[in-house]
Amino acid sequence: MNKVAFVDLYQQHQAIEEELVEVFRRVLRKSSFILGPEVVGFEQEFASYVGASECIAVNNGTTALQLVLAALGIGPGDEVITVANTFIATAEAISAVGARPVFVDVDPVSYTMDPQLVEAAITRNTKAVLPVHLYGQAADVDALLEIARRHNLYLIEDACQAHGATYKGRKVGALGVAGCFSFYPGKNLGCLGEGGAVITNDPELAQRMRMLRDHGSIKKYEHSLPGYNFRLEGLQGGFLSVKLRHLDRWNARRREVAKLYQELLSETSLGLPVEMGWGEHVYHLYVIQADDREALRQALGAGGIECGLHYPVPLHLQAAYADLGYEKGRFPVSEHLSSHILSLPMHPYITDEEVKRVASVLLETLQCQSNQQTVTS
């Protein structure tokens, strides 16, 4: 029996192999290995795709977040509010500039930052609010922007899982002061290695980020301030330009796959993703909730179907953040999710047959469970 892959990068790249090899030849002949014309070209294309004026390409999504925070002057003594239910990189970027991550819980329906909890987390030291457009769906940006404006805070978007997702008709990434993307290979837009980018409409902030990205320098060996080496490779810029042209088609297929899962699983006890009325979900991940997650995970594994957990331990309970002093029970929604969620195979090249196979394993397992309950009750 063939495996059903969680993500299939091989098929995605096979379909565009010639175009990618052509990028390699071009960069090889020009020896433009770091930044250079391929990166500049991609920056222009991606800024215009998101609908913003500036894009600063960097070497991954974590450094994209760090770059924004550093360029805004956020550092030791400052606090940044983010969510407990995200990948650790969101919080690590805050730690990397010496600031303190302050967690809030997520909304149980959208799985994104609950705006109602933000105000209580604001202190004199708060500088920014950093929501995550989790699993491919926008957070409730307007509600968060309203709070941020009232308290004079920056709103920075972690859009690392949401390339092409929209909020009230606009693409995420340029809704606050800046938005950060990751091009890790498995993301909706991924390069063939590490990559990331910051999007903004603020030209001065963009200029500061361009300097900080490259050792605090615009002109070689003239350093205005101590910066970093967060540069993107030329090859990755070229690969990203090729792949960006396919992003909308890939996202449309992801939405089709989500619709099929929804149709096949809607009559079950499973909690399915809810599309909020405010925008278009791009399904970086298809995350369901189940009462007995482990039984489903085992059954899928036995059927050769790969699945994932995003995320099994919320950030406030990670050893890395033990020193922040959060206790178990503090963020009930994030904690509940961590033990009930399951990410099903989701990528643009999954076939309808594969989706049906995943659904039928889930349906059979749930049926067995309910039969057992009837017998024992």
Ligand X SMILES: *Cc1c(COP(=O)(O)O)cnc(C)c1O
Residue 226 Cβ vs ligand X, minimum distance, rounded to whole Å: 22
Q: Annotate 343-376 with b (16+ C-beta within 10 A) or e (fewer).
A: bbbbbbbbeeebbebbbebbeebbeebeeeeeee
| CB nearer ligand X, residue 234 or residue 296 | 234
Binding flag, residue 90, ligand X (CB under 6 A): yes
The whole-angstrom separation of Cα 278 and Cα 59 is: 31
Binding flag, residue 66, ligand X (CB under 6 A): no
Return the range that interacts with ligand X (CB under 6 A); candidates 59-67, 120-128, 238-246, 343-351. 59-67
State which of positions 140-199 bind ligand X (CB under 6 A). Answer: 158, 160-161, 182, 184, 196
Closest residue by Cα to residue 36 from 232, 193, 240, 243: 232
Binding flag, residue 52, ligand X (CB under 6 A): no
How many chain residues bind ligand X (CB under 6 A)?
14
Residue 148 Cβ vs ligand X, minimum distance, rounded to whole Å: 19
| CB nearer ligand X, residue 45 or residue 92 | 92
Residue nearest to ligand X (CB): 61
Torsion sign (Cα): 282, 115, 177, 191: negative
Return the range that interacts with ligand X (CB under 6 A); candidates 9-17, 60-68, 112-120, 212-220. 60-68
Instruction: List the x/- string, 3-42, binding to ligand X by CB under 6 A.
Output: ----------------------------------------
Q: Which two tokens stand for residue 63?
A: 């450094």
Residue 274 CB-half CA count within 13 A: 13
The whole-angstrom separation of Cα 111 and Cα 274 is: 9
Binding flag, residue 236, ligand X (CB under 6 A): no
The number of residues in the chain equals 377
CB 168 within 8 A of CB 144: no
Residue 328 Cβ vs ligand X, minimum distance, rounded to whole Å: 23
CB 97 within 8 A of CB 74: yes
The residues pairing with 344 across neighbouring beta strands, listed in sequence order, are 286
Binding flag, residue 87, ligand X (CB under 6 A): yes
Q: Site residues (CB under 6 A) for ligand X?
A: 60-62, 86-87, 89-90, 132, 158, 160-161, 182, 184, 196
